[in-house]
Amino acid sequence: MSPLTGRRTPSAIVRRAARWPRWLDRSSTRQVMAFQIVGLNGNILPAQAAHISLTHPAWQNGFGVYESIEVVAGLPFHLDEHMVRLAESARLIDLDLPFPVEAITGWVRDVARRVGENCALRVVVLGVVNEGDEPVVAILPQPLPRYPERLYRQGARAVTYAGCRHLPACKSLNTLVNFLARRHAVRVGVQEAILQSDGRLTEGARSNIFAVHKGELWTPPAGQVLSGITRDIVLRLAAESGMVVRERNLHLAEVTEYDEFFITSTSMHVMPVVAIDDRVIGDGQVGPVTDELVRRFEAYHNRYFTTAALQHTGLQRSVEVDHQHVVP
């Protein structure tokens, strides 16, 4: 906290972003209060005051799209990329966004600033089915999931689940298969469920999947799976480090031939996986490539928020200086 302005300094924001385990202290009264607001069509309201009709055709038919965005100390992570994907998801199901992307982006920033805490923002857009339907863009603050540090040191376990997402490149409200897969993972006591169809591994219930084989990094092709924001960053970091990166299908039958395996998502970042079903991957330990990518991603994550915090505080100071020079 700056002793001069009372605001969080960039270094304070970065320290909160780097904290292990994942950054949310759910016991904070301030955070509990922060999650009691929502954004609805550009307005910020108490959660209990925000309503949509149960007869809304889009709600009844799952005709909508969404994004989940990580926020650290009121600053969203890669917001523009999330908004591009939101618009693309809408296009894939022929949903006309009821408001301009630029407006929705501004509303997300407003809610993130109002919350001011580490959180996930779920942005939900319902499509207009009939003339006169109420447009809905809801922005819902939620706690970021917490993951024990041991999962990153020792590796997580996963289970396969038979099923695949309809229109996998689209982040639509039709998430039933993801829900069932996650529920199955919880019931058997593992951290993630990996969807498989006819022996082909596609993606996690809430993550993208990667395999390391003989020094190469493999991941299912974009278009066949949701192109995750974290996935894209990891692919870029791997290529910059000199790794050979290939988009190719992954198969359950070849899991024991992989040297390493990991999953990526907004909340998990890069999480090592050491076993799928009863199949141990490599030597059952977190491998050096995965460990390096965990470190590279966290370093990138911290640099991102360092820059964002500096830009944010610089903008605030600019506004303050301009305001001081206004002549009444």
Residues designated catalytic: 171
| 3-state helix/strand/coil string of 125-171 | EECCCCCCCCCEEEEEEECCCCCCHHHHHHCEEEEEEECCCCCCCCC
Q: Sign of dihedral through CA atoms 229, 231, 237, 242?
A: negative
Rg (CA), the chain: 21
- Per DSSP, helices labelled H in 210-261 are 229-240
Q: Which residue, 79, 88, 20, is CA-closest to 269?
A: 20
Residue 137, beta-bridge partner list: 125
Locate 179 and state its tokens: 């829900």
Q: Which residue has the tokens 């996930």?
A: 120
Q: Which residue has the tokens 């490149």?
A: 169
Residue pair 290/215 in contact by the 8 Å Cβ criterion: no
CA distance 74 to 119: 8
CA distance 98 to 126: 8
Please report the beta strands in the chain, taking only residues with DSSP state E, as ranges in sequence order: 37-40, 43-46, 64-72, 75-76, 119-126, 136-142, 156-162, 192-197, 200-204, 208-213, 216-219, 244-247, 250-251, 260-265, 269-276, 279-280
